[in-house]
């Protein structure tokens, strides 16, 4: 099947490669000429484990090609919209790019199409896209059949390609039997994972899923604050909770809060969707409030424990919002660095992938080539992202490098037997 994917960002490139590996002929469409040139050379603008290697394989086999021109959709029966929907100032999803693409599709399509919305969009966006395309077709004086499909993505950064190729479920919102058959052909390798529903249900499932996972994280973090007050260990508490199959262990780990391109944006967007519908999302607002204050709560503990931050050297290990990605969007590390610099601390930092992006925001931080260099002469160490080379570094060697052996583990990931001689402070646990 010939498939056009519009928007070569994180989702678009991942889906293009996944569909190509499934045997489809993929046409990636992107208005940014430099990005197209980079992709044609097999180079990705993002870091995602295994994705670049597979892209190069598909380029060699000519299973994938790229174009700046929307007219490339006319070689395809399926057109997938994967452009960004950034947050507006009020938290609503900005549909500017989606609407522009819809208009361009209406202006250029010459034959029947299935328009698949992969971008994360509010409920009712499918209707908006249909109206825009209909309007453009009427202006042209042509009658070309098409159908709008909602097919949200559930890709986790750091393992996006694995998720695309081995999904838990593929949610598809459509109305006609012919569209269902086409989507079954598109995802023939995962036919047992398909869940068909309405377009509006599908649009809401995406937001509801991310908001629920964010709720689990914030619940664990608020419980961690209580654990410190009553002398409990949050790690043991959540482990005991997670043994209940109705609860499960995933996304129940306490830490310094969620970040990234999805959870914060999608939580805000769902709050605004509720507001527009006259629904007071009390629970979801509390989830957001906990996350917004979690880093400050953690840093207050840091400042109190080491009796002030001015002129103290603090090493921050991990800058991306999670390991195995170069994405720093909404990373708790941004708030950590900002707080430390505001308090006049001397800050060193290490991350295997996130330094270039963070340097543009905080040029006054000293960035190191490895974690041991970062902790040299530090008065305290903050672990902000659980990269394997940070968690498993030589903590005995680090002990000999620091001025004060104090570790604030923002992810509760370093095992106690590795920390002989350290004063350890986690989230919801304090063991010295």
Is residue 385 within 8 Å of 379, Cβ to Cβ?
Answer: no
Side-chain half-sphere CA neighbours of 8 within 13 A: 31
Strand order in the sheet with 366-367: 366-367, 346-350, 313-317, 380-383, 406-409, 423-425, 430-431
Question: Among candidates 154, 146, 157, 156, which has minimal Cα distance to 172?
Answer: 154
* Element at 57 (helix H, strand E): helix 51-60
Cα 180 from Cα 194, distance rounded (Å): 10
Q: Is 109 exposed, middle or buried (0-12, 13-18, 19+ CB in 10 A)?
A: buried
Name the token pair of 162.
């694995």
User: Which alpha helices (DSSP H) does 355-418 contain, by range?
Assistant: 355-361, 371-375, 388-391, 395-401
* Element at 297 (helix H, strand E): helix 282-305
Active site residue 174: no
* Element at 334 (helix H, strand E): helix 332-342
Selected catalytic residue, list 76, 174, 262, 430: 262
* Element at 26 (helix H, strand E): strand 25-29
Sequence-separated (6 or more) residues with CB below 8 Å from residue 285? 271
Name the token pair of 173.
């919102």
Cα 267 from Cα 325, distance rounded (Å): 21
Is residue 114 within 8 Å of 130, Cβ to Cβ?
Answer: no
Cα 26 from Cα 64, distance rounded (Å): 5
Name the token pair of 160.
């996006």
Point out the residues that are catalytic: 262
């Amino acid at each position: 099947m010939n498939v056009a994917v519009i928007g070569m960002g994180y989702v678009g490139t991942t889906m293009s490669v996944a569909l190509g590996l499934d045997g489809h002929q993929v046409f990636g469409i992107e208005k940014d000429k430099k990005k197209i040139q980079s992709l044609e050379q097999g180079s990705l603008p993002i870091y995602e484990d295994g994705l670049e290697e597979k892209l190069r394989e598909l380029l060699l086999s000519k299973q994938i090609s790229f174009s700046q021109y929307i007219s490339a959709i006319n070689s395809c029966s399926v057109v997938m919209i994967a452009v960004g929907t950034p947050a507006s100032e009020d938290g609503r999803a900005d549909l500017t790019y989606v609407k522009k693409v819809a208009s361009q599709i209406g202006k250029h399509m010459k034959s029947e199409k299935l328009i698949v919305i992969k971008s994360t969009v509010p409920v009712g966006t499918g209707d908006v896209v249909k109206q825009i395309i209909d309007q453009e077709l009427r202006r042209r004086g042509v009658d070309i059949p098409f159908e709008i499909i909602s097919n949200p993505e559930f890709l986790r950064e750091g393992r996006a390609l694995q998720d695309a190729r081995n999904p838990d479920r593929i949610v598809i919102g459509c109305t006609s039997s012919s569209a269902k058959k086409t989507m079954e052909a598109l995802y023939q390798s995962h036919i047992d994972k398909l869940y068909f529903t309405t377009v509006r249900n599908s649009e809401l499932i995406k937001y509801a899923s991310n908001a629920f996972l964010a709720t689990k994280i914030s619940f664990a973090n608020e419980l961690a604050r209580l654990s410190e007050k009553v002398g409990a260990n949050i790690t043991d508490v959540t482990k005991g909770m997670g043994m209940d199959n109705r609860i499960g262990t995933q996304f129940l780990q306490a830490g310094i809060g969620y970040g990234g391109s999805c959870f914060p944006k999608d939580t805000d967007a769902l709050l605004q969707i509720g507001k527009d519908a006259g629904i007071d999302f009390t629970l979801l607002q509390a989830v957001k409030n906990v996350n917004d204050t979690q880093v400050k709560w953690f840093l207050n503990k840091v400042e109190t424990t080491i009796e002030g931050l001015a002129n103290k050297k603090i090493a921050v290990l991990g800058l991306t919002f999670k390991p195995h990605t170069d994405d720093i969007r909404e990373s708790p590390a941004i708030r950590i660095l900002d707080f430390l610099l505001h308090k006049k601390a001397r800050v060193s930092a290490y991350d295997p992938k996130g330094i270039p992006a963070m340097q543009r925001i905080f040029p006054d931080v000293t960035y190191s080539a490895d974690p041991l260099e970062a902790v040299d002469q530090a008065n305290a160490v903050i672990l902000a992202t659980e990269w394997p080379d940070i968690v498993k570094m030589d903590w005995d060697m680090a002990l000999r490098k620091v001025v004060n052996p104090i570790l604030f583990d923002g992810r509760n990931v370093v095992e106690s037997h590795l920390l002989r001689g350290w004063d350890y402070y986690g989230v919801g646990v304090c063991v010295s």
